[in-house]
Amino acid sequence: MLDIKFIRDNKDLVDAGAKKKRINFDVNKLIEVDDKRKELLQKVEELRAKQNEVSQKIPTASDDEKATFLEEMKNVKADLLTFEEELKPVMQEWQALMLQVPNIPDMSVPEGGEEDFVEVRTYGEMPKFDFEIKDHVELMTKADMVDFERGVKVAGFRGYILKNDGALLERAVENFVFDEMVKKGFNPLIVPSLVNKQTLLGTGYLPQGEDDLYKTQDSDYLSGTGEVGTMAFYSDEVIPKEKLPVKFIAYSPCFRREAGSHSKDTKGLIRVHEFYKLEQVILCEASHEETVQFHEEILANSEDLMQKLGLPHRVILLAAGDIGLGQVKKYDIEAWVPSQNKYRETHSASYFHDFQTRRLNIKYQDGDKKRYAHSLNNTAVALPRILVPIVENYQQADGRIKVPEVLVKYIGKEYLGTIQE
> Quick one: pLDDT at residue 66?
74
Considering 48, 257, 271, 344, which one is annotated as catalytic?
271
| pLDDT range class, residue 59, cuts 50, 70, 90 | confident
Within 62-216, strands assigned E span: 118-123, 146-147, 161-162, 187-190, 194-195, 214-215
Cite the residue boundaries of each domain of the chain with CATH code 3.30.930.10.
114-416
Per-residue pLDDT, averaged over 362-390, amounts to: 97
Considering 193, 252, 302, 348, which one is annotated as catalytic?
348
> Quick one: pLDDT at residue 419?
84
Is 371 labeled as catalytic in the residue annotation? no
> Quick one: pLDDT at residue 74?
85
Per-residue pLDDT, averaged over 363-391, amounts to: 97
| pLDDT range class, residue 16, cuts 50, 70, 90 | very high
Sheet holding 374-383, edge to edge: 118-123, 313-317, 329-337, 342-353, 374-383, 274-284, 246-255, 187-190
* The pLDDT of residue 51 is above 90: no
- Cα separation values, 419 from 3, 136, 210, 273, 397, Å: 62, 16, 46, 32, 9
| pLDDT range class, residue 61, cuts 50, 70, 90 | confident
Is 48 labeled as catalytic in the residue annotation? no
Tell me the percentage of the chain whose pLDDT exceeds 90: 87
Q: How far apart are CA 313 and CA 198, in angstroms?
A: 36
Is 256 labeled as catalytic in the residue annotation? yes
> Quick one: pLDDT at residue 263?
66
Considering 37, 297, 345, 371, which one is annotated as catalytic?
345
Among the listed residues 293, 276, 279, the one whose alpha carbon sits nearest the alpha carbon of residue 247 = 279
> Quick one: pLDDT at residue 70?
77
Per-residue pLDDT, averaged over 88-103, amounts to: 96
* Burial label, 322 (beta-carbon count in 10 A; 0-12, 13-18, 19+): buried
Q: How far apart are CA 338 and CA 84, in angstroms?
A: 63
Say if domain 114-416 classifies as CATH 3.30.930.10. Answer: yes
* Burial label, 4 (beta-carbon count in 10 A; 0-12, 13-18, 19+): middle
* The pLDDT of residue 411 is above 90: yes
Is 150 labeled as catalytic in the residue annotation? no
Among the listed residues 121, 123, 173, the one whose alpha carbon sits nearest the alpha carbon of residue 307 = 123
Q: 4-98 has which CATH code?
A: 1.10.287.40
* The pLDDT of residue 3 is above 70: yes
Apex CA 373: angle with CA 352 and CA 283, to 5°? Answer: 75
Q: What is the mean pLDDT of the chain?
A: 94
| pLDDT range class, residue 178, cuts 50, 70, 90 | very high
> Quick one: pLDDT at residue 421?
64
Question: 376 near 352, Cβ under 8 Å?
Answer: yes
> Quick one: pLDDT at residue 57?
76
> Quick one: pLDDT at residue 262?
67
Cite the residue boundaries of each domain of the chain with CATH code 1.10.287.40.
4-98
| pLDDT range class, residue 261, cuts 50, 70, 90 | low
> Quick one: pLDDT at residue 260?
66
Q: How far apart are CA 176 and CA 410, in angstroms?
A: 8
SS3 375: strand
Considering 158, 256, 359, 400, which one is annotated as catalytic?
256
> Quick one: pLDDT at residue 140?
96
Per-residue pLDDT, averaged over 183-208, amounts to: 94
Among the listed residues 17, 39, 125, 120, the one whose alpha carbon sits nearest the alpha carbon of residue 86 = 39
* The pLDDT of residue 65 is above 90: no
| 117-159 pLDDT per residue, tens | 999 999 999 999 999 999 999 999 999 999 999 999 999 999 9
Is 271 labeled as catalytic in the residue annotation? yes
Apex CA 142: angle with CA 137 and CA 144, to 5°? Answer: 95
Apex CA 362: angle with CA 98 and CA 4, to 5°? Answer: 25
> Quick one: pLDDT at residue 62?
79
* The pLDDT of residue 363 is above 90: yes
> Quick one: pLDDT at residue 30?
97
Per-residue pLDDT, averaged over 94-109, amounts to: 96
Considering 158, 358, 385, 400, which one is annotated as catalytic?
385
